[in-house]
Amino acid sequence: MSTTRRRRPPVADHDADIDSDSTSTSTRRRSSPIRGAASDTRDQSRRLDFTQRGDVDAAGVVILVALGLLIILHQKFGFCGLLWVVLFGFFRLLWVALLSFGRAIWPLLWVAVPALIMILPIAMVVEWVRERLGVARPPTTTGRGGEGNDSRISTEESANRGGPRKFTYKELEEATNSFASDLKLGQGASGTVYKGHIGKDRELVAVKIITSGANQGVSDFIAEMVAMIQLSHTNLVKLKGYCHERDKIVFALVYEYIGRGTLYDYLFKPEYFLTWENRYNIALGLASALRYLRRKRPQCVIHRDIKSSNVMLDEAFVAKLGDFGMATLVNHIGEPNSSLVAGTPGYWAPENFRMGELSRKSDIYSFGVVLLEIVCGRKAVCRDRDPLNLVEWVWRHYGPKKLLRAVDSRLGKDFNKREAKALMMAGLWCAHPDAKLRPSIRKAKAYLNLTSEPPDLPSEMPAFPY
């Protein structure tokens, strides 16, 4: 009898599946830390890349800020300000490069460090030369003034070096006997000037009290202060000090006292008289003052109100230009940006009062008018004469070659004909209606000194070209 064996169903496959699942689970468990580590590495890499990109972005911001500072510091401080900003930007970029590239940047250091070692001494030499030449940095001003705005001018450093000092209102009251009317020297558009004795040695001074409106008074005070605090020249009135007390709303400037009065007095008041020698030297002195203002660094000064009544005369008849209440500081490159008409009728440049445009040649025009006043003894505008305008009147004498007939009759024949002709020719040249055809103050001064050829002027006064 045969027996049939039943085959048992295989169970190994089920066990294998269980083992397979177990193995797979175990493998996943073992591989999970590896994937986690890889993920951590990628996260760290991303964070590192983000940090590096952040440093590069920060460097970009620094570069943009540095570019802005390049413009500002070039205007304010010239070459040295630019140099320090460039060095700052270089060190910042070098730091970013070291963070990003590590040792790969070392070859650059072998080039950069010697270059810096050469640049820094050059910068120090330039700064030393600037100090030796008396190129002062402009004072710091905060705000434009007005009610509730404390406009401060940093003059402590200037005072410590013997420059303008700060006076109290009480000191000015004592100096001027409470601003007595008999000590009043004059009054202009921006303020009233008093004679005073100040300090223990009772030094004679002229105290100018700014009397404009609240906002305009502050602006005038700041404009004149900023212009004068950095100026020092034989032919400029010297600023002794200032006073600003907010609780009293007082703005005052203290100047050296100039005893003889103004050029206007000596030219147009019958009790005064100027010899030809004095007139010629006054013209040269005024030219020297303007030349100094044009060469001033880092910014030149435009006076904007040059006239005979703003030229003071000391005991030796040395001309001293004053009243910088309308002055403005401008860059040596480019034209000043201003549409404000400033100055006095008769001394205004045509482009100034007709177009409202201010240029460096505006002062040249006013200077030319003053030169003609000095020679002719006639005011810039004479309402009882024909023509009214002094420039046009002198040009009528120039056309038929009768310039010497325009010389002040009070001089008689006691004047140098060559010098008189030079002053009038220079006056017409400077007062040319076309600003582009006016000379620089350097060229005008050279001709006044009789060291250059005369200008080629048309026989008739040109028309205003605009």
Catalytic center residues: 305
Radius of gyration of the chain (CA): 38
CA dist., res. 192 & res. 349, Å (int) = 26
Q: Exposure of 70 by Cβ count < 10 A (0-12 exposed, 13-18 middle, 19+ buried)?
A: middle
Contact of 454 with 388, CB cutoff 8 Å: no
CA dist., res. 5 & res. 9, Å (int) = 12
- Which of 137, 294, 310 minimizes the C-alpha distance to 208? 310
Q: Is the previous residue joined to 454 through a cis bond, with omega within 30 degrees of 0? A: no
CA dist., res. 408 & res. 416, Å (int) = 12
Within 10 Å of residue 52's Cβ, how many Cβ atoms?
A: 14
Cα 67–chain centre separation: 20
Q: Residue 254 corresponds to which tokens in the numbers above?
A: 């203290």
Segments in 133-247 forming alpha helices (H):
156-160, 169-175, 214-228
Within 10 Å of residue 303's Cβ, how many Cβ atoms?
A: 26
Amino acid (1-letter code) at residue 401? K
Show binding-site residues for ATP: 208
Q: Residue 140 corresponds to which tokens in the numbers above?
A: 């710091």
DSSP H or E stretch at residue 83: helix 79-101
Looking at residue 347, the DSSP 8-state letter turns out to be: T
Show binding-site residues: 208
Strand partners, 210: 191
